[in-house]
Structures are given as C-alpha cells and as structure tokens.
C-alpha cells in the first residue's frame, strides 16, 4: 500500500526534462501516471506519444529511477504480495489448484478444447468478484472483452440469485464490450485504464474471452506468424500493465488445436476456436429484414431485426431481433445448394428438411443429398411503407423583360464597372451576358437572383420563366408511386443513362407508348420515340437533367428503396422489369425473366415472395457460351404472376392469358408436397379408413401426393371422428404444413467449392432461424449435446455456443454456479 502512496506523490511533471508540453503529450496518449510510463516500452512512446526514440528512453529511465524500479529482496516482494487478492471460482478443488483462487496482479489463462467450460468459469468470476473479500470476492466490478459472443446476462442472473445478490445490480457492475477484430480487441483493452482512472470505476477483474480467436482470423499462414506474435505480445503487455498497476485480476481463455497423431479417445477437438464452430453463409447471401429491406448478410451488422418463421406456432412469418454477428475467415471450402433458390454455406450450416416420416429435421449442408426437401419461404408478409424520393433540384431558366434589360444596363453604367468586372458577380461570361441583354437568350435562375438583388427588385419584376427542349416545366413527386416504380423496373431492364437524359430501347412500340404516357403522368415530361435506322426497334428518350439525376440517385440503392415500399409498388417494379426482360414461351406454359446478374435476380426472388409469387432460378449458357440466369414461372407460379403482376405488351399478355386458361383445364394446382403415400396410407389405417377410399392406388414411382389429394385425405380423416390424440396431432401438423408460410423445395444440385472469402453468421434468439436467399436456415448458436457421466455428473459438449452453463468437462453445474463434482 505504501507503494501506491509513493506513486501518487510523484507526478509526471517531476521527471527531468519533462515540461508541460511533453506531459500533455503523455497524458493524451494515456500515460498519466509514473508507473504507466515506467513499464512502457520505447516503441510504444514513439508510436503513441510522438517522441523520438532517444527522448522515449530518457523519459522511461527517469520514471524508473524515481520509482526505484531496480532489484528488490524476496522479503520486500513478499510484503508487496500481501495486497494480492484471491477470487473464488465457486469450486474448492479448483481454488486449491490455483492456490486459493484467481489472483490479482497477474494474468490467469484457462485453455482447453471448445466446450470445456472456460466461459462458464468466466460467468462465475464476473459474479463472485462483486462479493465482499471475506466471502471470496473483491468488492469490485468486472470488464468483459467478448470476442466470441459468449457473454449471457441470463446466466449472470442465475448465478447472482444463487449467491443472494441483486441480479440487476450485478449486471450493472459488468461492463461488456464486443470485439469485432484483433485491432478492436487491443483498443478496448487499452480503454480499460480510462474506466479506472477517469470514470473511477472499482474494476477488479478483466475477462478476455477468448484471447486468440481474432488473432487467428486476422493473421493466417506462416508468413504472418511473426506479425501475429508481435501483436499478441503487445496485447498481453497491456493486460499485464493493468494487472500490476491497478492490482486487477486478468482472466483470459484460449483454445487448443487437435493433434494429427491422436488415434484413440475423443477426436472432437476444436480447431481455430469457437469462431470456427459457427455455421456461416457467403457474404452475398440476402437476408430479409423486418422493415422490408433486403441486404447481403455482410452488410447487416448494424441492423437488429430479421424476418424468421415461428416453427412451433403455425409455421408463420414473424420477426425477431438478432443479437450477435459472426465472421469466419478460415473456411477453406463451401457448398453451393440449388433448390430453385441458390445459397452458398459452410459445411456445418443447418437447414430444415422434411423427412419421409413427416417430421421436420435439421441437416447440415454436408449431410444434405440431392432429392431432399428443404424448407423455404412460401411468402413473406411485410406490408412496407411508402418512401420519399431523393430530393432533386429542378433547373429553371428565365428571360429578362425589356424593362429588366434597361435596368441592368443602367446598373452597369452607374457602377462604373466593365462588363468583365460585372460578370465576376454572375455565373456567365461577358459573351453570354451580351447574348442575355442583346439577343434575348435565357439564363439560369441564380443569375436572375443576382440581377434582382443588385437592382433591389423582385425576380418577377425584371424576368419571366421560359421553357426550352432542354429545360421543361416538370414535376417530381415527393413520394414513390406504383407508376414510378414500374418505370424504374423497366429502366433496370432496358434503360441506360445518356449525358442529359434517359434512354429506353424496345422492339414493341406499344410498350414504349405506355411508358411515354407514364412519364407524362408522373413527371409532366414529354418524351420522344423514334425508330432506329436499320434495326427493328425504337428508342424512347426522356430529356431532363433533373429526371436523370433522380434516377441516378435511386439506382445507387435501387433494391433497398424497392424492398421497403408497399407491395403494390413492388408488384409494379417487377412488372416493369418483366416488360423489359420477360419472355412468355409460345410452346409451353412458362414465363422466363432473364438477366446476366445472378444477384439481381435473387433480389427479385425475395421481392416476389413479398407478393406471394414463387419462382425458380436457373443458370444457362447462350449460343455464344455466355452465362446468364433465368427466373422461371410454371404451373401455379405462372398463374400467380399473371394475376398479381401481369405484363404490358399486348402480344405477351395474350399468350399469358392463353396459358392461364390452359392451366385451368389441366388443373395446374397439381403440385406435390413431400409427404409419402406410404405415410398417408398408415395414417388412414390409424383412422380406420381404407387407403383406396381416399386415394387412388398408384405405381411405386408415384412417391408423393398432390396438394389437392392431400387435402382429400385430411378431409376424409377429419370426417371419420373418434380419432386418437396421436392421429389428431399428425393431422394438425399436416394442415400446418399446408397452410403455413413454408414450402418444401427439392434439392436439385449440390457442389463443393473452394473458398477464399470470409463467411458470416448471426444469432437469432427465440426462433433460432432466419430467411436467407429464400431458404429458412437455422442459426447455429444454441446447440448442445448432453450425455450422463459417472456418479451423477454430466458430460456436456457444446457444439455451437460456449456460453451455456454445461460444458465439456466433468463437474456439476447447477443454478448456484460451478460446484465440486
């Protein structure tokens, strides 16, 4: 304690050669105490305080001399260690192993394989540090640097209640910071000192869980090993300085790596730590946010509410907050799954599939097989809200009246300025000014404002607004309208930007005439249509700099704008795009929407789900061997598209209507649902109904039934009466499958691909799923494998979340915390 007093009496200003300016530099860099300077390295002061190396060494040596930081006797050290505190772990056996508990003034490292209980001990320490010293605590608070999303307040509340502490007060005394990369982790460790010195918090425990995960992710390969070790050493030095300077306990966790020569025992050893245990998706995977926004998962770290499915409550669309965001930079391979929707994921990512026993099962990507039926969104119920269009100024031009010209002439003469000097106050050259005054040329509004200001008169007194082919009286609405969305969709397919205008090209004159009318209706803009010489097509030109600027602003975030709008607007946008890129097959009932950009069509698939229209994405090669993609609509999907969206072109619309009639006659709703005939046969027998009374016998190749026949089976069973509870439950489940917001798509193709990009995942507590590229996927944070151990113990292996009470170890974990086995 005497040492602390000595440190306080000596200030940085007392150091030889340190003046006010140097002291201020040290303070700004975080070195506001003698001991902080004494234990620093010259490199740190050079980097952080801007010193030369010679000055840094001089200041460090002076501080060490003042503090007499030389050799000490063992007796002196023993006396100093009397101030060391021991923090209980809750287990007497573990306390004994540590010599009484986790001690202050040092770094205590717990390392072990994934799920061995490291985070459980961290939760325990975060509570016990707040207990009085006589009860094994330190009477202080804790800081948790969370690099793997392991902190859980629910667990803190459990342990606090068991120790008779006020749970909310305990939570208030734990400062948690989420680390997103190694640089962020290092920075947060350095900020802990500010919490102690500036905020005066009684911090007695710093937890880093885990120490190495971000360093392994940010520094990969032997070539970066030296840089990684140097950075880790600096990080450990910062933690050690906290421990020694402020008598704080530092608890860090670390993982182990598997030995390739291990042939016996449990082979499930985590490699690369907890971050690798997360199942992850490719960065361009599209997520559906609850406000309608469609975003790639890599850009969703700052959004907190996603669309998910209530699997236990009618399989209906809902929304829920996600609470953690993960990045995996070490996935060397991924799988590409094609089920009409396409997605790329790590081998461990989980999907939902429907088994032959009519049960929903989870399956990792690497376990999926071609022919499996996976859960996808049938529709996404989001109403959306109208959005404001970006603000764009409309350029207006004016001509000076005769009186205005005379007044300007007089003003120039009275001011004794030359025309060149006068023009410096305007946005024109002398030549342009001569044309404005002598040849009645129009000029911009800002020039008229300068004239009126100089003359002390209103604009209307000296000029009048005029229109030219370039400058027309247009109107830009404040909000998006369905018609504007349709134009934007058409532009996305067949439009392009010219220097001062928009240009559309199409073979069908009737389509261009329709969009010409929409421009006049929405913007009061007269557009021009002309035949292209030597080609069987036409151009539509919308000549307006303001309209072009508006489209440029919207185009930068086109899908974001569209996805937030009401469904009426979305349907109009898709209609416009289909007018440009859609093709109705004349030989079979099918509609194709083609595009080179796969990502854009995947966005369109998500938008189509908003209005309850399904589609199938396929990849093709043209005759020139160029790759392109199609959205395909057949059967019920074709009819839904025609009824909810439709097309503008007369010939396409007529062909579409012909196929709708065709589908009605062939009962287009004969879509299969993956419930086997064998399962339904047994269900009918359970209800006391002969199979042939409800379904026509079919050959073995007819494995599944149509939706129409499935409804017949359900009706027959419900009319039977006197059903067992088990049968009722099965019927209820099938009805949920039929009426829910989920459909089951057949996996058409699976490919394993090399990967060099980071992968991403999120945690959605509660529903444990979210919608990604149309698939319903399981978030991978809450899974645990349990088995009974010997003598009443439990052996728990957490697969994806190390924060849960039980972990890979032999000990008893109760509501009271960790106890001896």
Mean pLDDT for 152-160 is 91
Share of residues in the chain with pLDDT > 90 (%): 34
Residue-level pLDDT at 265: 39
Share of residues in the chain with pLDDT > 70 (%): 79
Q: Name the DSSP letter for residue 814.
A: E
Residue-level pLDDT at 263: 36
Q: Is the pLDDT of residue 809 over 80?
A: no
Dihedral angle over CA of 67, 69, 72, 77, nearest 10: 70
With contact defined as beta carbons under 8 Å apart, do 795 and 788 qualify? yes
How many CB atoms within 10 Å of residue 356? 13
Q: Is the pLDDT of residue 125 over 50?
A: yes
With contact defined as beta carbons under 8 Å apart, do 756 and 331 qualify? no
What pLDDT, in 10s, does the model give residues 530-568? 999 889 999 999 988 889 999 999 999 999 999 999 999
What pLDDT, in 10s, does the model give residues 332-348? 899 999 999 999 998 87
Mean pLDDT for 296-310 is 81
With contact defined as beta carbons under 8 Å apart, do 295 and 305 qualify? no
Q: Is the pLDDT of residue 350 over 60?
A: yes
What would the two tokens of residue 450 be? 């300068």
More confident site: 11 or 279 = 11
**DSSP calls for 130-180:** TS-GGGT--S-EEEEEESSS---HHHHHHHHHHTT--HHHHHHTEEEEE--
Cα(75)–Cα(96) distance, rounded to whole angstroms? 24
Residue-level pLDDT at 629: 93
CA atoms 659, 662, 667, 672: torsion sign? negative
Question: What SS3 state is found at 421?
Answer: helix
What pLDDT, in 10s, does the model give residues 129-152? 999 998 999 999 999 999 888 898
Q: Which of 48-52, 553-557, 680-684, 748-752 has the lowest mean pLDDT?
A: 48-52
Residue-level pLDDT at 465: 84
Residue-level pLDDT at 470: 64
Residue-level pLDDT at 277: 41
Q: Which of 178, 280, 217 is nearest to 761 (CA)?
A: 280
Mean pLDDT of the chain: 81
> Band of the pLDDT at 744, cuts 50, 70, 90?
very high
Cα(207)–Cα(145) distance, rounded to whole angstroms? 6
Q: Is the pLDDT of residue 163 over 50?
A: yes
Residue-level pLDDT at 432: 85
Mean pLDDT for 106-130 is 80
- The distance in angstroms from the start CA to the end CA of the chain is 39
Q: Phi first, then psi: give them for residue 143, nearest 5 degrees.
A: -120, 130
Residue-level pLDDT at 244: 78
Cα(473)–Cα(467) distance, rounded to whole angstroms? 7
* Tokens 């009706």 belong to residue: 715
C-alpha R_g of the chain: 36
- Provide the angle, in degrees to the nearest 10, between the axes of the packed helices 567-581 and 598-610: 140
Question: What SS3 state is found at 102?
Answer: strand
**DSSP calls for 758-808:** -EEEEE-TTT-EEEETTEEEE-SSS-EEEEE-GGG-EEEEESS-TTSS--S
Residue-level pLDDT at 49: 66
Mean pLDDT for 83-107 is 79
Cα(494)–Cα(516) distance, rounded to whole angstroms? 14
CA atoms 163, 169, 175, 176: torsion sign? positive
Q: Is the pLDDT of residue 115 over 70?
A: no
Q: Name the DSSP letter for residue 83.
A: G
Q: Name the DSSP letter for residue 505.
A: E
What pLDDT, in 10s, does the model give residues 366-423? 889 999 999 999 999 998 999 999 999 887 888 899 888 888 888 888 878 787 887 8
Residue-level pLDDT at 802: 29
Burial 186-196 (b: 16+ CB within 10 A, else e): bebbbebbebb
Mean pLDDT for 516-525 is 94
| Domains by residue range for the chain, with CATH | 2-66 (1.10.150.20), 84-254 (3.40.50.300), 279-378+745-778 (2.170.16.10), 397-466 (1.10.260.40), 482-665 (3.10.28.10), 672-739 (no CATH)
> Band of the pLDDT at 68, cuts 50, 70, 90?
low
Q: Which of 76, 66, 319, 33 is nearest to 194 (CA)?
A: 33
Q: Which of 174, 208, 202 is nearest to 190 (CA)?
A: 208
For the question of whether the overall pTM of this predicted structure is more than 0.75, the answer is no
What would the two tokens of residue 813 be? 């974990």
Angle value at C-alpha 187, between 182 and 191, nearest 5 degrees? 145
Cα(291)–Cα(561) distance, rounded to whole angstroms? 11
Question: What SS3 state is found at 58?
Answer: helix
Cα(373)–Cα(334) distance, rounded to whole angstroms? 20
Omega before 256 within 30 of 0, i.e. cis: no
> Band of the pLDDT at 790, cuts 50, 70, 90?
low
CA atoms 409, 411, 413, 418: torsion sign? negative
Residue-level pLDDT at 39: 63
Cα(442)–Cα(339) distance, rounded to whole angstroms? 61
Omega before 804 within 30 of 0, i.e. cis: no
Q: Is the pLDDT of residue 238 over 70?
A: yes
With contact defined as beta carbons under 8 Å apart, do 628 and 617 qualify? no
What pLDDT, in 10s, does the model give residues 610-667? 999 999 999 888 777 788 899 999 988 999 999 999 999 999 999 999 998 888 777 5
More confident site: 540 or 448 = 540
Cα(152)–Cα(146) distance, rounded to whole angstroms? 10
What would the two tokens of residue 165 be? 């502490």
What pLDDT, in 10s, does the model give residues 257-294? 444 333 333 433 332 333 334 458 999 999 999 999 99
Residue-level pLDDT at 341: 95
More confident site: 612 or 324 = 612
Residue-level pLDDT at 229: 57
With contact defined as beta carbons under 8 Å apart, do 462 and 400 qualify? yes
How many CB atoms within 10 Å of residue 102? 26
């Amino acid at each position: 304690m005497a040492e602390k007093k000595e440190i306080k009496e000596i200030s940085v200003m007392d150091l030889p050669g340190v003046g006010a300016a140097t002291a201020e530099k040290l303070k700004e860099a975080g070195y506001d105490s003698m001991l902080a300077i004494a234990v620093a390295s010259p490199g740190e002061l050079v980097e952080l305080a801007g010193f030369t190396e010679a000055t840094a060494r001089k200041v460090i040596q002076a501080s060490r001399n003042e503090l007499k930081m030389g050799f000490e006797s063992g007796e002196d050290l023993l006396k100093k260690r009397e101030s060391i505190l021991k923090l209980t772990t809750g287990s007497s056996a573990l306390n004994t192993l540590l010599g009484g508990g986790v001690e202050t003034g040092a770094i205590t490292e717990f390392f072990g394989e994934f799920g061995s209980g490291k985070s459980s001990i961290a939760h325990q320490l975060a509570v016990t540090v707040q207990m009085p010293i006589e009860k094994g605590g330190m009477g202080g608070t804790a800081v948790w640097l969370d690099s793997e999303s392991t902190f859980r307040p629910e667990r803190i509340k459990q342990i606090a209640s068991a120790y008779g502490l006020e749970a909310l007060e305990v939570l208030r005394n734990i400062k948690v910071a989420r680390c997103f990369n190694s640089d962020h982790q290092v920075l947060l460790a350095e900020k802990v000192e500010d919490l102690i010195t500036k905020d005066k918090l009684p911090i007695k425990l710093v937890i880093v869980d885990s120490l190495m995960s971000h360093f392994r992710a940010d520094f990969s390969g032997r070539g970066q090993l030296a840089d990684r070790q140097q950075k880790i050493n600096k990080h450990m030095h910062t933690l050690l300085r906290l421990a020694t300077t402020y008598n704080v306990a530092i608890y860090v966790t670390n993982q182990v790596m598997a030995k390739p020569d291990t042939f016996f025992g449990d082979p499930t050893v985590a490699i690369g730590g907890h971050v690798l245990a997360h199942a992850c998706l490719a960065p361009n995977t599209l997520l559906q946010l609850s406000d309608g926004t469609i975003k790639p998962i890599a850009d969703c770290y700052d959004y907190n509410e996603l669309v998910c499915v209530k699997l236990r409550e009618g399989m209906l669309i809902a929304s829920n907050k996600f609470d953690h965001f993960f990045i995996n930079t070490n996935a060397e391979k991924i799988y590409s799954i094609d089920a009409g929707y396409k997605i790329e994921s790590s081998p461990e990512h989980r999907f939902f599939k429907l088994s032959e026993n009519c049960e929903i099962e989870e399956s990792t990507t690497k376990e999926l097989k071609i022919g499996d039926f996976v859960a996808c969104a049938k529709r996404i119920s989001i109403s959306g809200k109208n959005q404001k269009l970006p603000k764009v100024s409309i350029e207006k031009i004016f001509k000076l009246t005769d009186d205005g010209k005379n007044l300007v002439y007089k003003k120039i003469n009275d001011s004794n300025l030359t025309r060149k000097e006068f023009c410096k106050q305007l946005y024109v050259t002398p030549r342009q000014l001569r044309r404005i005054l002598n040849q009645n040329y129009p000029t911009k509004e800002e020039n008229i404002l300068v004239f009126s200001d100089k003359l002390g008169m209103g604009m209307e007194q000296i000029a009048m607004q005029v229109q030219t082919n370039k400058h027309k009286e247009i109107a830009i609405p404040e909000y998006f309208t369905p018609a504007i969305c349709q134009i934007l969709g058409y532009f996305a397919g067949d439009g392009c930007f010219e220097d001062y205008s928009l240009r559309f090209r199409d073979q069908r004159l009737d389509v261009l005439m329709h969009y010409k009318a929409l421009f006049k209706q929405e913007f009061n803009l007269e557009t021009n249509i002309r035949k292209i010489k030597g080609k069987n097509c036409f151009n539509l030109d919308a000549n307006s700099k303001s309209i072009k600027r508006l489209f440029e602003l919207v185009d930068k975030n086109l899908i974001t704008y569209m996805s937030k709008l009401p469904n009426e607007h979305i349907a109009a946008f898709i209609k416009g795009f289909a007018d440009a890129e859609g093709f109705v097959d004349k030989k079979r009932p099918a509609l194709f929407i083609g595009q080179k950009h796969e990502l854009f069509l995947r966005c369109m698939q998500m938008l189509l789900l908003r209005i309850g229209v399904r589609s199938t994405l396929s990849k093709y090669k043209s005759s020139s061997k160029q790759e392109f993609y199609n959205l395909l609509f057949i059967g019920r999907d074709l009819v839904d598209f025609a009824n909810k969206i439709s097309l503008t072109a007369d010939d396409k619309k007529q062909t579409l209507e012909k196929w709708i009639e065709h589908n009605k006659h062939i009962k287009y709703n004969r879509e299969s649902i993956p419930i086997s005939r064998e399962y339904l046969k047994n269900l009918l027998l359970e209800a006391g109904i002969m199979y042939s009374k409800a379904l026509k016998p079919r050959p073995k190749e007819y494995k599944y039934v149509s939706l129409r026949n499935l409804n017949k089976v359900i009706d027959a069973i419900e009319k039977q009466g006197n059903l067992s509870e088990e049968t009722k439950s099965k019927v209820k489940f099938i009805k949920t499958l039929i009426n829910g917001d989920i459909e089951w798509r057949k996996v058409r193709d699976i490919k394993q691909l090399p990967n060099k990009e980071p992968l991403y995942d999120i945690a959605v507590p509660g529903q444990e799923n979210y919608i990604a590229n149309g698939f319903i996927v399981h978030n991978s944070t809450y899974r645990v494998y349990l088995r009974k151990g010997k003598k009443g113990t439990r052996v728990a292996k957490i697969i994806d979340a190390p924060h849960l009470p039980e972990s890979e170890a032999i000990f008893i974990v109760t509501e009271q915390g960790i106890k001896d086995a």
